[in-house]
Amino acid sequence: MAEAGWVRVAATADVAEGQVLGVRVGERDVAIYHLPGGDYCASDNICTHEFALLSDGWLEDGCIECPLHAGRFDVRTGKGQGAPIDKDLDVFEVKIEGGDLLVKLPG
Ligand code: FES
């Protein structure tokens, strides 16, 4: 039985290594990152600065760069990497089950 809070968001094959995928889960936009080396991470997909989808940005050196004003967040911690970002991003736990990616979303 699935554990509470865990939601299947994509197949592992949907996110190529080095890429980011935006998915809609209920009311929430989630970004799934496949880091070079194989790890997956997940965060809110909406920039904390203004409205932009981070999945339209660039994943580089463990950070996602916002397509609108080039703000950057560490995708493992959600930490903003300086101006214009003054609020960190929510990040979510990810696990793999078979070929599926599951993300643990808060309530
Ligand atoms: S909207 Fe993302 S940096 Fe401005």
Among protein residues, the one whose CA lies closest to atom 4 of ligand 1: 69
Are the beta carbons of 57 and 66 closer than 8 angstroms? yes
Quote the domain boundaries for residue 39.
6-104
Please list the residues that pair with 65 across neighbouring strands. 58, 72
Domain contains 1: no
Are the beta carbons of 16 and 34 closer than 8 angstroms? yes
Domain tally, the chain? 1
Amino acid present at 4: A
Pocket test for ligand 1, best of 44, 48, 50 (most atoms within 8 A of CB): 50
- The mean pLDDT of 67-78, rounded to a whole number, is 98
The pLDDT assigned to 3 comes to: 59
Pocket test for ligand 1, best of 58, 63, 66 (most atoms within 8 A of CB): 66
Angle value at C-alpha 40, between 15 and 9, nearest 5 degrees? 60
Nearest atom in ligand 1 to the alpha carbon of residue 47 is: 2
Q: What's this model's pTM, rounded to 2 decimal places?
A: 0.94
- Residue-wise pLDDT for 24-66, tens only, equals 998 999 999 999 999 999 999 999 999 999 999 999 999 999 9
Q: What CATH number has the domain bearing residue 31?
A: 2.102.10.10
